[in-house]
Amino acid sequence: MEQQIINHIQDILKSNNVTVLSLLWSSFIFILGVISTKYRIKEWFQHQRIWKRLAVCLAILIVAISLNWHVIAAGIFSLLVVISTILPLPHELFLLHYYKTNEEALEKERYRCWFVTTTALLRFYELKIRKSRGLIKRQDMQIAFIDEAKKWDLFDREYIKYYLPNLDVLFRIGAIKAFENECSKLSRFDNTGYMLSFKTYLAHNNFDYEKMEELESKCPDTDDDSRLVSLINKYCAYEASGEKEKMKNVISKLLELKRKGIIHVELYRDLMRYYDEIIVDKEAADALAEEIEKIDSVYYGDYLNLQDIAFMHYRINGNQQKTNSLIERIIAENKKRQQGDEQMITQIKLMYVMFDNGYKWQEYSVGVFLNRTNFLNRGYRVGAVFIQETYRLLRDVSLLNNQSLNNQLQNEMFADFDRYIERYISEIESDIAELDDRFLYRKRNLLMLKLELLKFKADGDFVLMRKNNDEIFDRIIEMCRHNGDKREMLHFLVVHADDILTIDNQIRESGKDDVGYANTMLQKDYDNHRMAYINKAENLVCEIVNMLYLRKYDKSLAYYVIYTAYFYMLLENRQRSLFFFTMFEKYDIDIKNWTMPIQQIYHKVRKYNSKE
């Protein structure tokens, strides 16, 4: 065999094909030289993709010589194999172009099996992510890409172009620990804008706003999306600590991004809150609301959230004509732009919005109630929302308007609800089990939806309610701990402690005012378990205090500090309550900038700690 190859090479040389070979080889070397200069070829040889292609090229040339194939054809094929390191093969380019004009084929991934090069797969996923409609589908595709890309041998330029721009999806779904681990593995990119931005996200999770400031000053050239997330996180911190000058600085940077044409719900929400609540600039807020009304080029879910910002502004300022007009527009746009579950969910949620605004709510709600079979049969995504919103509406109509629904219709609906609730709870648990653990926020939302259904089943049984609430909140807190999401964990520690202590306080007050109520079996059953609940609350408050202590009671955590003072008040621990209330007072925060419920808590704690 070896002799045959040598003889064949000699025949080529004798037949003057050496000229062709030398030209081909020279061209090949020239191209490699250009590539080497531009793409730092020394680093390439650390990648398996290069060695595999070189091996294929060598095998092709050996086979071509041994079988007397045309040398030029073999050379061209070898060249294609090498070029495929940085470019897709011709048929892959054609397929990518086909996907750009045929979204159905892209969504169903027809002919995907024809992709053989990493370069083509990177472009394929980039296209899939860009074409994904809606936040959920986009996040799913980004996670699928990240999981696949981990198996590939990527060049650094590919990491920067394709991998890093999608990596922050881990942070956005609540997989903080996984996000941090990936950032650690990619430490060689620490000086890139992406990685510096990612570090600001992690600093935000750790409540380390000084670190966020430091990192942001190092990455002025980061991409707009990453910069936006960082600014929104900072604004949240400064708003919590009441630092108006720092808020003003962040707002000016957010306005710069808005002028670039960036449309983001949280960007507009922060701007409106700043104009309406912080500096009380009605003219600027009106102009922003009018701008929001004209936005219609976004995904419908974002459109609804944006219109809600304008709606709440008009509502606060008592502009009934504008709020009514927006409601009518949303009803019309919902019919035109949405279908299926999403359209139904919007229809359902509009019931309470219309009631809250005093606009045609009775006629609209009865129409929805009469169509309940269609809603309930759609599964829990629609049915559970229908049950939740119906109970909410009927409760507040009774409390605020002293009105009630026709008894027959109400009894029929409640009987329907009882039949469906068990099924919905089972479906929710099934979906939670199937979800990847990294999707913290999706699992949290499903568990909170389940909790709403369990509340309806409990029907005033305090012990059962407490058991259900503890189970759900404990699961969420444990998921936060598992995923390394410290902010969400602290939030739910507060929610859980507040749930136990506030309900306990309400039950005790009801017992004082109503002797008959105090002697009921439900009340007695609760009293038998009460100390276990209080001990649970004390443990939760201790965990909150530990988290505050680790951040040295930073001013940005003022919200949690006043809540801790409130919890100790409910636990009748005056010394600890006074300690945290005094600390809150040292922050010198204008309590008027905070929501009414927080202001009420503040005044209760202040009154409690002013007693001798």
Instruction: Read off the DSSP letter of residue 278.
Output: I
CA dihedral in degrees (226, 229, 234, 235; nearest 10)? 140
Please answer whether residues 71 and 64 qualify as being in contact, where contact means their C-beta atoms are separated by less than 8 angstroms. Answer: yes
Please answer whether residues 453 and 421 qualify as being in contact, where contact means their C-beta atoms are separated by less than 8 angstroms. Answer: yes
Report, as an integer, the average pLDDT of 67-88.
63
C-beta contacts of 407-415 below 8 A and 24+ residues apart:
409/366, 409/369, 413/369, 413/372
Q: Is the pLDDT of residue 43 over 60?
A: no
Residue 358 half-sphere exposure, CB side, CA atoms within 13 Å?
7
* Residue pLDDT, tens place only, 194-237: 888 888 889 889 888 778 777 777 765 567 777 788 788 888 87
pLDDT score at 305: 87
pLDDT score at 548: 94
What is the DSSP secondary-structure string of 158-214?
HIIIIIHHHHTHHHHTT-HHHHHHHHHHTGGGTTSHHHHHHHHHHHHHTT-HHHHHH
Least confident interval from 132-146, 163-177, 215-229, 530-544: 215-229
How many other C-beta atoms lie within 10 A of the C-beta of residue 97? 10
* Residue pLDDT, tens place only, 537-581: 999 999 999 999 998 888 889 999 999 999 999 999 999 999 999
**Distance between CA atoms of 501 and 466, rounded to whole angstroms?**
11
Report, as an integer, the average pLDDT of 588-595.
80
Greatest C-alpha distance within the chain = 116
CA dihedral in degrees (419, 425, 431, 434; nearest 10)? -120
* Residue pLDDT, tens place only, 238-292: 877 777 888 888 889 888 888 888 888 888 899 898 888 888 888 899 899 999 8
pLDDT score at 154: 85
pLDDT, mean over the chain: 83
pTM, 2 dp: 0.81
Least confident interval from 188-202, 381-395, 504-518, 571-585: 504-518
217 or 350, higher pLDDT: 350
Strand, helix or coil at 520?
coil
* Distance between first and last Cα of the chain: 105
Please answer whether residues 301 and 134 qualify as being in contact, where contact means their C-beta atoms are separated by less than 8 angstroms. Answer: yes
Which two tokens mark 278? 């912080």
Report, as an integer, the average pLDDT of 66-75.
61
Q: Is the pLDDT of residue 160 over 70?
A: yes
Least confident interval from 20-34, 123-137, 212-226: 20-34
pLDDT score at 231: 83
Confidence bin at 306 (pLDDT 50/70/90): confident
Q: Is the pLDDT of residue 479 over 90?
A: yes
Least confident interval from 26-35, 110-119, 292-301, 386-395: 26-35
Report, as an integer, the average pLDDT of 304-310.
88
**Distance between CA atoms of 248 and 245, rounded to whole angstroms?**
5
How many other C-beta atoms lie within 10 A of the C-beta of residue 25? 11
What is the DSSP secondary-structure string of 358-387?
TSSHHHHHHHHHHTHHHHHTT-HHHHHHHH
Q: Is the pLDDT of residue 351 over 80?
A: yes
Please identify which residue in the block is written with the tokens 């019919």.
Answer: 335
Which two tokens mark 389? 């919103």
Confidence bin at 303 (pLDDT 50/70/90): confident
Confidence bin at 67 (pLDDT 50/70/90): low
Least confident interval from 66-75, 315-324, 351-360: 66-75
* Residue pLDDT, tens place only, 396-421: 888 887 777 778 888 888 888 989 99
pLDDT score at 34: 64
User: Percentage of the chain with pLDDT > 70?
Assistant: 83
